[in-house]
Amino acid sequence: MNLKKFIINFLIILSILLLNGCIDEETTNGKYDIYVGANVTNGYSTIQKAIENSSNGDSIFIYDGVYNENLIINKSINITGESNDKTIINYIKDQEQEIIIITILADSCILNNININNSNGTDNVLGIVIKSSNNTIINTSITNTEKGIYIDSDYNVNSRNNSIIMNNISNNNYGLYVTYSNNNNISKNKIFDNKEYGIYLLNSNDNILSYNFYYNNTDYALRIKGSRYNKLYNNNIFLNQKGLYFCCGARDNIVYNNNFQDNIIWHANDALGNQWDNGIIGNYWGDYEEKYPNSEIINGKWQTPYNISGGSYKDNYPLVNPI
């Protein structure tokens, strides 16, 4: 590895560590309406019982422990765990049905500082299913599921304006699976070691994907299918089998100010008509100098456009240095 690549990889890893340092453990300094724990006085031993006895606007605090439950959140409440490594929600086994660990049906819920870990090892487990709007998932770890976070709309429910922020989403088949859901904010997450897709965005428009780290995902970091007007910026996409893939009618999306580094097959693939710069700023491509050894630099940008795999589309303002 040459010196420049070493420095770039070091800076990326440092950025991950700094992001991880932003995820702090919650304390009980704030006032909560309901408490959950094994030995709580004037509280509940199960989370679902606390939810059933809550009212819209209530806040629930969960002490560290393992809670083998399937939760249905049907009220606009806030749920906070004591720590996102030791406040663990697993599930009750049911091999005959698809298992959802947490279902959010109400609007304007907050889920914070929780560890969702499918330790039972079955394949038909979904971590968090959101069938509502204006919810926030923050500081949460989601591991070992079929779909880590699944945001879904159908004929009866229009899920939109959800925020997925500062979560660790790893070792799932799909990290995030978003279908027919618009105007979501997916930012500052670490999405890694997922077996198929880091993010799968299907027929979903006007979403923002920013400041995320996608790495070591076995197949695709991101696949965007049939979706339009999404913005992707300030992401780090590296060490995946494939980087960012637009397919099957995905067009009019914009991608700029991202780092694409050391992805194995290709960094990006687009045969449909998406924009790879904002007219001023493009993206950093780790293989740029290998592909265009004679390109010149002016004002921090390479002068030869970068060709995107799969078609004739280009990044017209490729960056010399990573963001």
The string of DSSP codes covering 19-69 is HHHT-PPP-TTS--SEEE-TT-TTSBSSHHHHHHT--TT-EEEE-SEEE--
Which pLDDT value is given to residue 118? 85
On the 0-12 / 13-18 / 19+ scale of CB atoms within 10 A, 142 is: buried
CATH for 3-315, options being 2.160.20.10, 3.40.50.2300, 1.10.10.410, 2.60.40.420: 2.160.20.10
| CA gap 52, 55 in Å, rounded | 8
User: What phi and psi values does residue 21 have, to the nearest 5 degrees?
Assistant: -70, -15
DSSP H/E element including 222: strand 220-225
Instruction: Give me the count of residues in the chain.
Output: 323
On the 0-12 / 13-18 / 19+ scale of CB atoms within 10 A, 294 is: exposed
Say if residues 82 and 25 touch (Cβ distance below 8 Å): yes
Could you read off the pLDDT of 122-153 as tens digits, one per residue?
A: 678 999 999 999 999 999 999 999 999 999 99
Say if residues 245 and 274 touch (Cβ distance below 8 Å): no
DSSP letter at 135 equals -
Which residues of the chain fall short of a pLDDT of 50? 3, 6-7, 10, 21-28
In this structure, the number of other CB atoms found within 10 A of the CB of residue 119 comes to 11
Which pLDDT value is given to residue 76? 98
| CA gap 32, 48 in Å, rounded | 16
| CA gap 103, 93 in Å, rounded | 16
Which pLDDT value is given to residue 122? 62
Written as one letter, the residue type at 295 is S
| CA gap 253, 87 in Å, rounded | 38
Which pLDDT value is given to residue 39? 87
Tokens 């990573």 correspond to 322
Convert 74-115 into a string of H (helix), E (strand) and C (coil).
CCCCEEEECCCCCEEECCCCCCCCCEEEEEECCCCCEEECCE
Would you say the C-alpha torsion 207, 211, 212, 215 has a positive or negative sign? positive
| CA gap 41, 32 in Å, rounded | 14
Which pLDDT value is given to residue 25? 37
| CA gap 193, 187 in Å, rounded | 18
